[in-house]
Structure 1
Amino acid sequence: MKDLFLNKKFVIIFFSAIFAVILILSLITAKCDGQEKLIKIEKGWGSDEIGQKLKDEGLIGSKWVFVFYAWIKGYNVHLQAGEYLLDSKMSVLKIARMITNGEISENYVKVTIPEGWTNKKIEERLIASGVLKEEDKLPKEKEGYLFPDTYYFERKSSVDIVVKKMSDNFMKKIGEDISKDLLIDSSMKLPNAVIMASIIEREVVSDEDRVIVSGIFWKRIENNIPLQSCATIAYILGVEKKQYSYEDTRVKSLYNTYTNLGLPPAPINNPGLSAIKAALNPKETDYYFFLSASDGTTIFSKTLEEHNTNKAKYLE
C-alpha cells in the first residue's frame, strides 16, 4: 500500500515536472529584439534538423529546446516543409505550432534597404520586388524615419503597412541603441538630429570621421556659417558628381546649404544608426572644413586657406 502511494506520488511529481518544463519552454525565446527571418524547412526534415536551423538563425537558444518540446507535444511527426516567416520574439510553442500547422509564408519577399537611401530609391526597390504597385508613393514627411534594414514584406502590401513597419523599426532601434540620457543631454531635438544625420550619411563613411564632421557642421550652425554640404546639392539636383560647379551651388532651393543658413527643412535621405549617433554626439575639434579625397580619405582643415590648398592637392 505504501509502495503504491509512493508510486502515485512519483507519477504526479514526474508529470508535474514535465508540465512545468513545457510551460517554461513555451515561453523561451532566443532574443527579445524581434528580428524577423524567412526560414525554409526542407521536405523530410525532422525536429533535429529544424531545431538546428532555428538555432543557427538565432531564433532559439538551443536546438534541444525545440526537439524536446516537439517530442513532448507529439509535433515531431507532423512537421511540415515550406517557408516560414518567424520572429526571434516568438516562443518555442508558437514556432512549433506554425511548422506543425503548415503556416507557410509563400507570399513574403526579402528586401534590403541600404543606409542613406531616399524615399524615391526605396520606392523603386519595393516596386521592383513586387511589394508596392507602380503608382504607390512613400510619404515625403516620413523621409528620414524609414529605417534602413532587411525586411520581409508581403507582396502587394499597402504603403501604410510598409511605412508602419519601417518607422516602427526606426523607433525600436532608436530606443535600443541611443540612450535616453544622450537624447536628454543633447542640445538638439531628435528631428534636427535626423536631418543632420541624413547629411552626414552622404558626406563621410567612417564612424571616426562622422563625429568630427558632425562637430564641424554644428559649429558652423552655431557661428552662422553655411554648412556648404555637397550632399544637399546632390539631393536637389538628383545627380551625384565628384565636384559641383559654382552654378550648381546657386540652385534655388530651401535645401541648398550653400545659400541658406542652418539645416535644410527636412532629411535628405533615411540615415542609419551610425550617422544618427554621430549627429547626436559631435566631436569638438579646431576644424572648420573638410573634403573627401579620390580614395575616400577625409581631409580636414582648420582655415579656409588650408582648405583651398587641400582642394588643389586632392581634388584638382
Structure 2
Amino acid sequence: MAGAGSSINGSSNRKNNNRDSGSGGGKKAIKIIALITLYIILMMAGFVVAYKYAINSGTRESVAIYIPPEEQIVINIPLGSSTSKIASILKEEELIGSEFLFRLISSFEGYDNKYKSGNHIVAKGLKYTQIMDILIQNPQAVRVTIPEGYNWYQIVSMLDKLNLISKDVFEEAANNLNLDLKSLKDIPNGRKPRFEGYLYPDTYEFGSDAKEKDIIERLLLRFDDIFLPEYYDKARELGMTVDEIITLASIIEREAKLPEERAIIAGVFYNRLKSGDVFHKKLESCATIQYILFKKEGKIKEVISIEDTKIDDPYNTYIHEGLPPGPICCPGKASIEAALNPQSHDYYYFVAKGDGSHHFSKTLEEHEAAMRQYGVAR
C-alpha cells in the first residue's frame, strides 16, 4: 500500500510540475512577444522620425539653393539607373546615410522613374528629397576653373574628382588625339604628358554629355585662341619654337609670384640661355625640381633641398643646361607674354624674399649675400 500510495503521489507531483512548467513557458513567450512588439514599435518610431527629418519643410524648393563652389560635388547618374543604383552611388559618395531610406522615400514621394541621367551638382548635408529634386532636373553644366600654374597631373586629378573624366580614358584620348592646330605643331613626338603646358587655364562649362576627347579639345582650342598671330612672329625673332616659349613661360609661371616680376624673371632666364659661360647656361630653377618631385610624390614641395637638386632627371635644370624637355605646368597669358617679351638687364640670379617678391643679383657674390640676408640656405 505504501508503494502504491507513493506511486500515486509521485504521479500527482509530476502533473503539478508539468502545469507549473507550462505556465512558466507561457509567461516567457508573452515576454518575448512583448519585447519583439516593443522593438518593432521603436523601429517604426525611429523610421518616422528619420523620414520626417529627411523630407522636412522646404524641400520642394531645394533645387534653388545656392551651393558654394568649394562644396559642390558632381555626381554622374548613368543612363537607365534604377533607384537602387542611384542610392548606391549617393551612399558611396557619402551623400546619404541609408540606401534603404532613400529607396523608401523615393517610392513614397513618387520620385521613382523620374531621375535624369548625366551630371548633377549636389553637396553633403542636403536632405534626401533635396537631392531627389535635383536629380529629377535636367543635367547641369559643370563649371570648372583651371588655375594658372596647374600642371597636367593636377588638372587631370581635378577633372577626375569632379567626375567629368576617367583618368585612363583622358590620357588615352590625349595620346590618340589628332588636332590640326598651328600652336601644337612644335610638340615633340612621344613626349608624355603630351599636352603638358597646353591645357589653357581658364573657366569652362562642360555639359553632362561631354566626353574626355571633347574636354581635351576644348582646352587646346582655347590655348590656340589666346596664342595670337603676333606671338609666332615674336617667337621667331627670339629664335625659339612655340614649344620652347611655352616651356619657358611655364617656368616663369611657377617662379613669379608678382605680376610685375614676370618679365624680369624672363630676362634672367634669357641671360642664362644666351650666356657663353657654361655655369650660367644652367637655369637652376627650383620650379623644375618641384615638378620632378610632384611627378614622384603627387604634391608640391615648397622648399627644396640640396639633395633634391642632384636628382638625375632630364627636367633637372641644376644639372642640365638650357630648357627642360617640355613645360612644367600650364601657364597663363601673362607668363606667355613675359616669355615673349623679356626685360633687358644684367641679372643672372634671383632669390625669394619671403613676401612673394624676389631680390635680383648680377653676380654670384651678390646672390650669395642676398641668400644670407633672406635666410635661404644652400
Report if the CA contact (8 A) 1:290-1:300 is conserved: yes
In the TM superposition, what are the counterparts of 1:1-316 in structure 2 within 5 Å?
A: 106-138=139-171, 139=174, 140-155=193-208, 157-175=210-228, 179=231, 181-223=233-275, 224=278, 225-238=281-294, 239-316=299-376
Tell me, what secondary structure is at the counterpart of 2:228? helix
Deviations 1:144-194 (A, max 9, x none): 111000001123632211110000000001127x55543443322211000
- 1:119, 1:191 → 2: CA distance? 15
Contact 2:151 2:329 in 1 (8 A): yes
**Could you say if the C-alpha distance between residues 251 and 131 of structure 1 is closer, same or farther in structure 2, counting changes exceeding 3 Å?**
same
User: What TM-score does the superposition give when structure 1 sets the normalisation length?
Assistant: 0.63
In structure 2, distance between residues paired with 1:288 and 1:231? 16
Relative distance call for 1:105 and 1:184 in structure 2 (3 A) is farther
Residues 278-309 of structure 1 show CA distances to partners (whole Å, capped at 9, x for unaligned) of 11111111111001111111110111111111
- 1:181-215 deviation line (CA, Å, top 9, x unaligned): 43443322211000000111000122321111111
Q: How many Å apart are 1:240 and its aligned residue?
A: 3.2
State the structure with more CA Rg. Answer: 2
CA distance, structure 2, for counterparts of residue 231 and residue 179 of structure 1: 24
Amino acid aligned to 1:189: T
Displacement of 1:115 in angstroms is 0.4
State the one-letter code of the partner of 2:374: Y
2:159 match: secondary structure: helix
Query: How many residue pairs get matched?
Result: 213
Distance in 2, Cα, partners of 1:135 & 1:180: 33
Deviations 1:218-253 (A, max 9, x none): 111112420000000000011534432211000010
Counterpart-to-counterpart distance in 2, 1:186 and 1:134: 37
Secondary structure at the aligned position of 1:115 is classed as coil
The secondary structure found in structure 2 opposite 1:142 is coil
The 1:173/1:267 distance shift into structure 2, 3 A limit, reads same
Structure 1 spans left out of the alignment, 5+ residues:
1-41, 43-103
CA contact (8 A) 2:348 2:361 kept: yes
Q: Distance in 1 between matches of 2:313 and 2:259?
A: 29
Q: Mind listing any 5+ residue stretches in structure 2 that lack a counterpart? A: 1-63, 65-136, 175-192
- 1:135, 1:121 → 2: CA distance? 14
Whether the aligned pair in 2 keeps the contact of 1:199 and 1:268 (CA below 8 Å) is yes
TM-score by length of 2: 0.53
Distance 1:136 1:185, change over 3 A: same
What one-letter code is carried by the residue in structure 2 that aligns with 1:218? Y
